[in-house]
Amino acid sequence: MSFVVRAAHAFDGQRFVPDGLQVQVQGDRIVAVRPARAPLPVGLPVLDRPDATLLPGLIDTHVHLVAGAEPDALSLDAGRSADQREQVVRRSLLQQVRAGVTAVRDLGDNRFAVVDRTVRDDEPSVVGSGPPITSVGGHCAALGGAASGVRALRAAVAERHERGAQTVKLIVSGGAMTAGSDLLLDQFEDADVRVVVDEAHRRGLPVTAHAHSVSAVQTCLTADVDAIEHCTCLTAAGIHTPSEVVDALAARRIWVCPTFGRLPTLPPSPQAIEVMRRTGMTLDARFAQVGRLYAAGVPLTAGSDAGIHPAKPHGVLAYAVGELVRSGLPVDAAVTAATSGAAEACGLATTAGRLRPGMVADLVVVDGDVERDVSALTRIRDVVLRGRLVVVSGAERSALS
Ligand SMILES: [Zn+2]
C-alpha cells in the first residue's frame, strides 16, 4: 500500500520543520519526504492533518512487557502461566502502539518469554534484553536472571547472546520494586560488572545497567557500561551527583535513561514515596539533576519503565518527554530523546527514529503543535506501523486502511 501523510507541523527526529512535511509511504518504508506545501504525488491517497504534528514513531527505551501495571506488577508475573504471561505482553504492546510508540526496548523479561516470541503485525518492534542479570536474591531475581561468580556471569551473557537478546541488562544497585532490596546498596563489585561488560562487548552486545546509588553509578563508569537506567545518584541524604560523574557520562557518551513518565493523575508508587521520605530526595531535585546532565552534554533517552505499577502503565512515554522539558530540556531535545536518540541508544538508528527516505515507515500524528505545547504528544491521532495504518482517526479510516 502506498499513501501520503501530510501535516502542518512536523518533527523530523532531531528538529521541528517549519511549515510541516508530507511523508510518502510505500510498503513498509518511507520513500519520500517533502515540504507540506509541495505538490502532492498524483493518484495516491492522502491523510491530511492541517492542525497536527507529524513525527517519527516514538521509541520507549525502558519497558517491562511482562508487567501489567498492577501494584507490585513485577512480582505478580512470577505466578503466571505462559499463556497468562503472553496475554499481558500482548496487551502491553497494544497499549504502547495506541500511545504512538512503534518500538520498545524491553529490559525486564521473565526467562526469555519476550525474546522468544514473534512480534505480530499490529505490535511495536521489540529490542529485548532477556531477564536482567542480577545477584542471587537481588532486585528482579524472580525474573530468572540471578548469577554469581565470573563463570556464571559469563555464561549468563552467552545465553542471552545465543537466544537472540539484543542488549544485556545488568542490575548493579538494589531497586525499590523488589521487597527486601535496597536502592542504596550495590549488588556487584566493579570486577563483576567488568566481566559482564567484557563478555557482552566481545559478543557485540551493549550493556545497560540499572543503577540508583551514586556508588553503583561510579561502578558502571569504572566498568565501562554503555547505558545507565535511572542514574539517580542517590545517597542516604538525597541526590548527589559528583561533577566527575557528570563529566564522564558526557565525555564517554553513556546513554542515561532517567525513567520519567507517569500518569499525572496518580501519585508515584508507595515504594518511590518511601525512598523520597527516607532520603529526602524530591522530584524537583531529580528534575534539576537531569537538567544538569543535559546541560553538560550527557545523551538522554525517554524510557518510561512502563508496566511496573498503576501510575506507569504502558503508553506513558509522552509524559516522560514532558518531564524532560520540565527538567530544562528544549522541546526538540526532549522529543529527540524519544525518537532519533532513543533509536541510536537501542541500536535502531539505521531504521527508526527519523523521517527520512529509506527508513521503516513508523509514523505518529498528534493533534496540535508539539513545538508550542509538548502535551500534544498525548493526543494521538494516527499511527503508522511498518507502513500499515494501525490507528486512524476520522473518516479516512475507510479510504486508507
Ligand atoms: Zn525497569
Cα distance between residue 294 and residue 222, in whole Å:
21
User: From ligand 1's centre to the CA of 306, what distance in Å?
Assistant: 8
Up-side HSE of residue 46: CA atoms within 13 Å toward CB? 13
Q: Which amino acid is at 85?
A: R
Contact present, 287 and 324 (Cβ < 8 Å): no
User: From ligand 1's centre to the CA of 259, what distance in Å?
Assistant: 8
User: From ligand 1's centre to the CA of 107, what distance in Å?
Assistant: 6
Segments of the chain scoring below 50 in pLDDT: 401
Closest CA to 305 of 232, 364, 367: 232
User: From ligand 1's centre to the CA of 178, what distance in Å?
Assistant: 11
User: From ligand 1's centre to the CA of 124, what distance in Å?
Assistant: 18
Number of H helices, E strands in the chain: 13, 16
Cα distance between residue 143 and residue 112, in whole Å:
9
User: From ligand 1's centre to the CA of 398, what distance in Å?
Assistant: 39
- Output the pLDDT for position 183: 84
- Output the pLDDT for position 78: 84
User: From ligand 1's centre to the CA of 8, what distance in Å?
Assistant: 36
User: From ligand 1's centre to the CA of 64, what distance in Å?
Assistant: 6
pTM of the model: 0.96
- Output the pLDDT for position 392: 82
User: From ligand 1's centre to the CA of 195, what distance in Å?
Assistant: 22
User: From ligand 1's centre to the CA of 207, what distance in Å?
Assistant: 14
Q: Which residues surround ligand 1, an ion (CB under 5 A)?
A: 305
What stretches of 215-254 adopt beta strand conformation (E)? 227-235, 238-239
User: From ligand 1's centre to the CA of 177, what distance in Å?
Assistant: 9
What stretches of 124-167 adopt beta strand conformation (E)? 125-128
DSSP string, 285-339: HHHHHHHHHHHHT--B-----BTSSTTS-TT-HHHHHHHHHHTT--HHHHHHTTT
Beta bridge partners, 77, equal none
Reduce the DSSP state of residue 226 to 3 states and report it: coil
- Output the pLDDT for position 401: 47
User: From ligand 1's centre to the CA of 324, what distance in Å?
Assistant: 18
The string of pLDDT tens digits covering residues 208-245 is 999 999 999 999 999 999 999 999 999 999 999 999 99
The string of pLDDT tens digits covering residues 280-326 is 999 999 999 999 999 999 999 999 999 999 999 999 999 999 999 99
Reduce the DSSP state of residue 199 to 3 states and report it: helix
Q: Which DSSP symbol is given to 142?
A: G
Grid cell 529527540 is found at 336
User: From ligand 1's centre to the CA of 42, what distance in Å?
Assistant: 47
User: From ligand 1's centre to the CA of 396, what distance in Å?
Assistant: 38
Classify the C-alpha dihedral 113-117-120-124 as positive or negative.
Answer: positive
User: From ligand 1's centre to the CA of 307, what distance in Å?
Assistant: 9
